[in-house]
Amino acid sequence: MKLRFAPSPTGFLHVGNARLAIANALYARRHGGCFQLRIDDTDTDRSREEFVKAIQEDIRWMGITWDETFRQTERLNQYARAIESLKASGRLYPCFESPEELAKKRELQIRQRRLPVYDRTMLKMTEEQRARAEANGKVPYWRFKLSDTTIHWHDMLMGDCHVKLPLVSDPVLVRADGTILYALASVVDDLETGITHIIRGEDHVTNTGIQLDIAQALGAQSSPFSFAHIPLLLDTDGSKFSKRFDSYALRKLRDDGIEAKALVSYLARLGSSDDPVLLPFEQQADHYELSHISRSAARFDMQQLLSLNHKLLAQLPYEAVANRLPKGSTKEFWLAVRNNLDLLSEARLWYTIITQDILLPVQEGEESFLQEAAALLPQEPWDTTTWKTWITALREQTGRHGKSLFHPIRLALTGEEQGPELRDLLPLIGRKRTLARLIPTPS
C-alpha cells in the first residue's frame, strides 16, 4: 500500500491541505503502508522555493514523516514519454483556438441551451490545415480525447461513483509552451511510483473519472487505484470555507499558538462519528478509521479547535514550552497561567501583567475598599498561601464576600475581568507592584 500527499508550492499550507495530508498519512501508518510527499511544481510561474520549504516544515511540525519524496520537475522526461505515447495512439490532439474563441463557443452553447462541452472541432483538422496554422505562427496546445463511455469505481467513502465522460470537455494536458498540466503529470506519477490509494477532496470526483481514462490510455488496468473522496469543509454557518483558507494557514495558526497535536487531533476526527482525542500522531494512526467519516460536508469550528488547544496547553509541562514563552518566564509563571490559555501566544499578556506597568480601569466608589486592602497586605516573602491569608482578613474587616470582595481586587491587580487564580498570580506580581496598583499614584 502506498499513499501520497501532493501539494503545489504556490502558497502556504492551510487547514484544508492539512486535513488531506493527515488523512493520507494516518491511513498509510494505520495499514503499514508507505507515505509519499510529492511536490507538484510544474507550474513554474507560480511555484516558489520558499513555499517548498514551508510545506516541508509544516508537515514535519504536524508530526508527519514521509518515506519518499520528489518534485515533479525532476520527472519531465517521464512526462515527455507519456505525451509521445498518447500522441502516437491518437488520444492527444493539437488545438489552436484562442481563449476568446473558446469563450464565444461556450456562450453560444449556453444561449442555445446546450451543454457547454468542447466540440472537438480540432479533431477535424487536416495535416494541411495544421501546417498552415503553424506557418502563421500559431502554436498548438494539446487536449486528451476522452473515451465515449462512463467511468465507474467504488469509492471507499462515497460508495459507487461514476463520471459520464461524454458530458465532460476533453481536458488540456499540455500547454502551448510545452508545460504539462496536473491531470497528466499526476497520473504518470501515481502509476510509475506505485500509488495504490488516493484520498482527496470530493471536488476531484470529475477529475477522478478523467484520470482513470488517462491511466487506461497509458496502459493501466481498469482500476489501478482505490479512491476516497472526503467531503469539503464548511464554515460554522454552513457556507463554503475555501475563500477563508488563507486566514487559516498552518504557519499563522502555529504563530498564534495552536499546538500541532491539537490541530492533528481535531482534523483527524473532523466530519467523523468520533470525538477528537489528544494523542501523538502515531497513536492517532492506531485509531484512525476512514469509514467513520460522514458523506456530509464537515464544519470547521475554530472554537472547537481552541477548546482542544486549551485542554492540551493545560496539560503541558513547563519544559515543553519554555523556549516559546516570553524571555524571563519561570516554571511558576507557566503553572499559574496555563489553565487559562486558548493559545500559547496569550501567555505574553499575562507575563506583561505580572512584570510591567499596565493601564488599569477606574473603579469609581471602590477607592476606600482598595485602600483597606492595601493596609492589610501581608509582608513578604509571599507564596501561594498569601492570597488566602490576605483575602480572609479583608473579608472579616469589610464584611464583603463573593463578587463584591474578589472582583475589585482582580481588576485592580490585573485589569482583567477573568484570569488565572489570584493565589498563583499574587506572588509573581509582588508586594511593591500590588501596592502600586491598589493605590495608584495620581498622574
Is residue 360 a contact partner of residue 440, using CB atoms and an 8 Å limit?
yes
**Phi, psi for 402 (deg, rounded to 5):** 65, -140
- Examine residue 308 and state whether it is found in any structural domain, yes or no: no
pLDDT at residue 216, rounded to an integer? 96
Q: Which of 122-131, 301-310, 346-355 has the lowest mean pLDDT?
A: 122-131
Residue with the bigger pLDDT between 263 and 245: it is 263
Average pLDDT over residues 61-67: 96
- Examine residue 371 and state whether it is found in any structural domain, yes or no: yes
- Examine residue 428 and state whether it is found in any structural domain, yes or no: yes
CA–CA distance, 134 with 131 (Å, rounded to integer) = 5
Cell 498552518 -> residue: 250
- Span 319-334, pLDDT tens digits: 999 999 999 999 999 9
**CATH number of the structural domain spanning residue 419:** 1.10.10.350
- Examine residue 375 and state whether it is found in any structural domain, yes or no: yes
pLDDT over 90 (residue 170): yes
Cell 464548511 -> residue: 234
3-state secondary structure of 351: helix
- Examine residue 294 and state whether it is found in any structural domain, yes or no: no
Give the number of domains in the chain: 1
- Examine residue 3 and state whether it is found in any structural domain, yes or no: no
The HSE-up count of residue 6 (CA atoms within 13 Å, CB side) is 23
- Span 202-231, pLDDT tens digits: 999 999 999 999 999 999 987 899 999 999
- Examine residue 421 and state whether it is found in any structural domain, yes or no: yes
Q: State which H helix or E strand residue 386 sits in.
A: helix 386-398
The pTM assigned to this predicted structure is 0.89
- Examine residue 430 and state whether it is found in any structural domain, yes or no: yes
pLDDT at residue 328, rounded to an integer? 95
What's the domain range around 430? 367-438
Helix 76-88 / helix 182-192 crossing angle, nearest 10 deg: 100
- Span 332-386, pLDDT tens digits: 999 999 999 999 999 999 999 999 999 999 899 999 999 999 999 999 999 999 9
CA–CA distance, 369 with 441 (Å, rounded to integer) = 16
CA–CA distance, 383 with 428 (Å, rounded to integer) = 9
